[in-house]
């Protein structure tokens, strides 16, 4: 343990924790105020980014339209008239949505800084080799979280919205989506994807604790494929193979990446040693 850690008393740790929390909360408040100020208006964040997937000119739809010539069933994304009507049925919903959306966006943007504050707080208690590992873990975890949120925003949520928003049980039903329902699904799917993309990091930590090894992933790979296919089908209920693969491929890649980061099983290590003895020149 470092000398700085030995010299710090309990109250010193408590004081450092207090300042860590203060800086973290201050960063969140400042960012939330900034997002709150730029949320409304024709050029605001809410109509152009949050509600972007409700219109036919959304970037994902336009991208799929450009490749529609080679994949026939993607031609439906060329419908620029596509529009999901969002309605508000409660008096205070728009104001509270304004505040909560500002906070969640601030939380996402401040995620790297919050991880940095956590790193600064625990760094004095670590050995030099542990500091290198933890620094890499925080950087990797932050990057994977943002990638997951991007996959949720550009792929998972638009595909889900496109299917459910155009699904018709009867022509007598006029499709209108409440603001509450839209935001609940928007935040849930994007943040769930961000958390799912932390699976390699979680697997690495469990491997370090001796709770997980590579043999688990090898043994249950076939089961994982089935489960991930079902999960991808639930996330993107449209049913066509293209949108299904858009979600399944990243999820399966996360599974293999998780297997790569964990330690080999003890039996696998023994087999590797036996192989090295049997074929010393290879």
SS in 3 state form for 117-184?
HHHHHHHHHCCHHHHHHHHHHHHHHHHHHHHHHHHHHHHHHHHHHHHHHHCCCCCCCCCCEEHHHHHH
Residue with tokens 């074929």: 279
Taking all residues of the chain, what is their mean pLDDT, rounded to a whole number?
A: 82
Token pair belonging to 201: 């990091």
* pLDDT at residue 75 greater than cutoff 80: no
Q: Say what the pLDDT of residue 274 is.
A: 45
0.85 exceeded by pTM = no
Mapped onto helix, strand or coil, the DSSP state of residue 42 is coil
Q: Say what the pLDDT of residue 46 is.
A: 95
In the chain, the percentage of residues whose pLDDT exceeds 70 is: 82
Residues linked to residue 83 through DSSP beta bridges, in sequence order? 55
Q: How far apart are CA 31 and CA 176, in angstroms?
A: 32
Q: Say what the pLDDT of residue 7 is.
A: 62
For residue 135, which of 157, 148, 118 has the smallest C-alpha distance? 118
Q: Which three-class secondary structure string do you get for 64-114?
A: HHHCCCCCHHHHHHHCCCCECCEECCCCCHHHHHHHHHHHHHHHHHCHHHH
pLDDT digits (tens, 9 = 90+) for 115-162: 888 877 777 776 776 667 677 777 888 888 999 999 999 988 998 888
* pLDDT at residue 102 greater than cutoff 60: yes
7-to-118, 121, 190, 258 alpha-carbon distances in Å: 20, 15, 43, 38
52-to-48, 92, 151, 161 alpha-carbon distances in Å: 5, 23, 15, 11
* pLDDT at residue 43 greater than cutoff 50: yes
For residue 92, which of 176, 29, 180 has the smallest C-alpha distance? 180
Residue 254 CB partners (closer than 8 Å, separation 6+)? 196, 197, 199, 200
Q: Say what the pLDDT of residue 58 is.
A: 93
Q: What single DSSP character describes residue 265?
A: P
Phi-psi region of 41 (alpha: psi -120 to 50; beta: other; left: phi over 0): left
Q: Say what the pLDDT of residue 88 is.
A: 92
């Amino acid at each position: 343990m470092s000398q700085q850690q030995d010299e710090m008393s309990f109250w010193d740790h408590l004081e450092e924790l207090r300042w860590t929390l203060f800086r973290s909360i201050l960063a969140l408040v400042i960012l939330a105020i900034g997002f709150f100020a730029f949320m409304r208006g024709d050029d605001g964040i809410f109509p152009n980014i949050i509600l972007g997937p409700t219109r036919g000119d959304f970037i994902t739809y336009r991208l799929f339209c450009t490749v529609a010539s080679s994949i026939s069933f993607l031609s439906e994304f060329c419908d620029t008239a596509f529009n999901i009507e969002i309605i508000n049925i409660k008096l205070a919903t728009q104001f509270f949505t304004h505040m909560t959306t500002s906070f969640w966006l601030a939380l996402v943007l401040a995620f790297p800084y919050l991880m940095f504050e956590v790193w600064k707080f625990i760094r004095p208690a670590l050995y030099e080799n542990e500091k290198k590992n933890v620094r890499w873990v925080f950087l990797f975890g932050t990057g994977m979280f943002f990638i997951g949120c991007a996959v949720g925003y550009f792929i998972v949520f638009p595909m889900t919205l496109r299917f459910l928003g155009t699904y018709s049980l009867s022509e007598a039903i006029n499709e209108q989506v409440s603001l509450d329902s839209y935001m609940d699904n928007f935040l849930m799917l994007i943040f769930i994807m961000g958390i799912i993309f932390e699976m390699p990091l979680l697997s690495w930590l469990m491997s370090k604790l001796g709770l997980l090894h590579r043999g688990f992933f090898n043994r249950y790979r076939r089961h994982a494929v089935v489960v991930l296919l079902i999960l991808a089908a639930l996330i993107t209920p449209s049913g066509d193979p293209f949108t299904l693969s858009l979600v399944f491929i990243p999820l399966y890649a996360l599974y293999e990446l998780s297997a790569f980061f964990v330690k080999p099983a003890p039996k696998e290590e023994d087999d590797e040693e036996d192989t090295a003895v049997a074929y010393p020149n290879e």
